[in-house]
Amino acid sequence: MLFAFFLLVIISFSYMYHAKVNVTMFTNHMQAEKLLSKTEESVTEKSQNIEEPKPLTGMWTVNAIGRLGNLMGEYATLYSLAKMNGRQAYILPNMHSQLSKIFKIRLPVLHQEVINRIKWRHYGLHDWMSEEYRHIKGDYIHLSGYPCSFTFYHHIKDEILQEFTFHDFIKEESYAYLNNVRGDKKNVTFVGVHVRRGDYVHVMPNTWKGVVADKGYLQKAMDYFRNKYENPLFIVTSNGMDWCKENINTSLGDIHFAGDGQEGSPGRDFALLAHCNHTIMTIGTFGIWVGYLVGGETIYLTNYTLTDSPFLKVFKYEAAFLPEWIGIPADLSPLLNNKNP
Ligand SMILES: *[C@@H]1O[C@H](CO)[C@@H](O)[C@H](O)[C@H]1NC(C)=O
Ligand SMILES: *[C@@H]1O[C@H](CO)[C@@H](O)[C@H](O)[C@H]1NC(C)=O
Ligand SMILES: *[C@@H]1O[C@H](CO)[C@@H](O)[C@H](O)[C@H]1NC(C)=O
Ligand SMILES: *[C@@H]1O[C@H](CO)[C@@H](O)[C@H](O)[C@H]1NC(C)=O
Ligand SMILES: *[C@@H]1O[C@H](CO)[C@@H](O)[C@H](O)[C@H]1NC(C)=O
C-alpha cells in the first residue's frame, strides 16, 4: 500500500516533470514558429517591395586594346553593360595584368584556354550609351571597340570608382610626392595637368582634321585656377615633356614638372594626377579618367576638330566630358590656315 503510494507520487512527479518539459518545449516551439513566420513574412515583404537581384549568367568580356585610359574605359563599360544585362563580366588576362598593377580591380579573369574554347559572339560598341545596349542577347559576348564614355557607367559611379581604388603603396607614394612638392607652402591647391602629345601631335591634324592643346589653352586653364585659389600648384605630366618645358610659362613659380621633367610611367603619372585636387586635361582618355577619379573641377579642351571631321562620327564631346566640366574651345586657326583653297 505504502509502496503503491510512493509509486503514485513518483509517477505523478515524473508526469509533471515531463509535462513541464513538454510545455516548455511547446512554448519554445511556438516562439520559434512565430519567429520563423516573421522571417518568412519579411522575406515575402522584401521580394514584393525590393527586386531580388537575379543570379548573373553567362560570360561577357571586352577587348583589351589601347593604353591605360582606354583599358579603364573598356573595363568600366564591360562592368556596367554586363550588369545591366544580368551577365557575369570577366576580363582578359592582358587587361588584368595591366590594370591590377595599379588598382584593386575585382572582376574575375578568363583563362586563355577558356577564351580559346568559347564560341564568342562579337559585339561592337560605339563610344556612347545606346538603348539597344540594355538588351544585348547572348551568354558569351565579346564586346569590342574603344568605349570610354561616362554615359555607360555614370549611374553606378561609386562602383566604378571602387574598382579603380589604388593600391595602398601607390596612394602613399603619391601623397609623399605631393607633400614634397608642397614643401613649406601653406594652403596649397594641387592641380594635375595632363598634356597629351606623342602620336596625337600628328594623328589629330592628319587623320582627324583636329588639333592638340596649345600654349594658349594651357595658359587660360591655369589662369582659371590662379584666379580662384590662393596657392595653386600645377603638377604637369606629359608624354612630350620637352614641349611642355618650352611652352609653359614657369615665371610664377607654381609649375612642377613631375618626375624631374622626365616622362614617367603611365601608372605613376596617373596616380600622381589622381591625387591632386583639380584637373587640367588636354585630349585623350587618360586625362578624362584623371578628371573622373579626382572629382574636383576639370578643365578640358573642346571643339578641337573641324565640323566635317571624321572624328565626330566616332566621338561625341557631350558623351565624353561631364556636363559640369569646363570646356575651353581650341584654336583651330592652324588647321584653317593650312587648308588649301
Ligand atoms: C511529452 O511527455 C510525454 C510523457 O511524459 C513523453 O513521453 C514525451 O516524450 C514528451 N514529448 C516530448 C516531445 O519530449
Ligand atoms: C585657403 O585658400 C582658399 C582658396 O584657395 C581660401 O578660400 C581659404 O580662405 C584659404 N584658407 C586659409 C586658412 O587661408
Ligand atoms: C610669363 O608670365 C609672366 C607673369 O604672368 C609674364 O610677366 C611674362 O610676360 C610671361 N612670359 C611670356 C613669355 O609669356
Ligand atoms: C588636396 O589634395 C591633397 C593631396 O591629395 C590632399 O591632402 C588635400 O586634402 C586636398 N585638399 C582638399 C581641399 O581636398
Ligand atoms: C562647341 O561647338 C558647339 C557647336 O558648334 C557649340 O554649340 C559650343 O558652344 C562650343 N563649345 C564651346 C565651349 O565653345
| pLDDT computed for residue 52 by the predictor | 72
pLDDT in tens, 105-156: 999 999 999 999 999 999 999 999 999 999 999 999 999 999 999 999 999 9
Q: Does some domain include residue 83?
A: yes
Please name the amino acid found at residue 192. G
What's the CA-to-centroid distance between 291 and ligand 4, angstroms? 15
Do 290 and 150 lie in a common domain?
Answer: no
Question: The CATH number of the domain where 328 resides is what?
Answer: 3.40.50
C-alpha cell at position 231: 596657392
| pLDDT computed for residue 8 by the predictor | 52
| Nearest alpha-carbon partner for 285 in 251, 319, 252, 310 | 319
| pLDDT computed for residue 131 by the predictor | 97
Does residue 212 contact residue 198 with C-beta atoms inside 8 Å? Answer: no
Domain that holds residue 302: 167-338
Do 189 and 270 lie in a common domain?
Answer: yes
What's the CA-to-centroid distance between 230 and ligand 2, angstroms? 6
- Segments in the chain below pLDDT 70: 1-51, 260-264, 338-341
| pLDDT computed for residue 26 by the predictor | 46
Do 134 and 208 lie in a common domain?
Answer: no
pLDDT in tens, 18-45: 444 444 444 445 554 544 454 444 545 5
Of ligand 2's listed atoms, the one at least distance from the Cα of 232 is: 5
Do 74 and 97 lie in a common domain?
Answer: yes
DSSP H helices, 147-228, are: 150-153, 157-163, 168-182, 200-208, 215-228
Please name the amino acid found at residue 245. K
| pLDDT computed for residue 53 by the predictor | 73
Task: Name the E strands within 38-130.
Answer: 57-62, 87-89, 121-124
| pLDDT computed for residue 265 by the predictor | 84
The domain tally of the chain equals 2
What's the CA-to-centroid distance between 15 and ligand 1, angstroms? 9
Element (H, E) at 192: strand 188-195
Q: Does some domain include residue 10?
A: no
| pLDDT computed for residue 27 by the predictor | 46
Does residue 89 contact residue 82 with C-beta atoms inside 8 Å? Answer: yes
Do 253 and 126 lie in a common domain?
Answer: no
State how far the Cα of 313 lies from the Cα of 197, in Å rounded to an integer.
22
| pLDDT computed for residue 240 by the predictor | 93
Give me the residues paired with residue 329 across strands: 302
Do 157 and 178 lie in a common domain?
Answer: no
